[in-house]
Amino acid sequence: MSKTTERLEQLQKQEAQLKARIQREKARISASSRKERTGKLVAWGVAVEQLLADETFKAEWWKLQCQRVLSGRTLERALVGEIGNPSLSF
């Protein structure tokens, strides 16, 4: 095998290793972003539950707002059951 061929194979191996490192870093960043977003959504959910429970938000108003911006399964999830207060069933 010639030196040129060996060098090319070495560079291709390094390229494959670098691509694998890039992929792992992208996956790490993506996972971190998902965790951050999930944390935010949970915090907002807790806040909405509390606002509904202490009647800062009226249940009927909340239902209308959800219908305005959500649809399908997401809307069903937002309106299912009791939200922080047994009297707030939809």
pLDDT digits (tens, 9 = 90+) for 46-86: 998 899 889 898 889 989 999 999 999 999 888 887 554 44
Per-residue pLDDT of 27-40, as tens digits, reads 999 999 999 999 99
- C-alpha 14, offset from chain centre: 34
Per-residue pLDDT of 1-19, as tens digits, reads 789 999 999 999 999 999 9
Q: Which residue intervals of the chain are DSSP H helices? A: 3-53, 59-69, 72-79
Answer for the pair 21, 52: CB distance below 8 angstroms, yes or no. Answer: no
- Round the CA-based radius of gyration of the chain to a whole number and report it: 25
The pLDDT value given to residue 36: 97
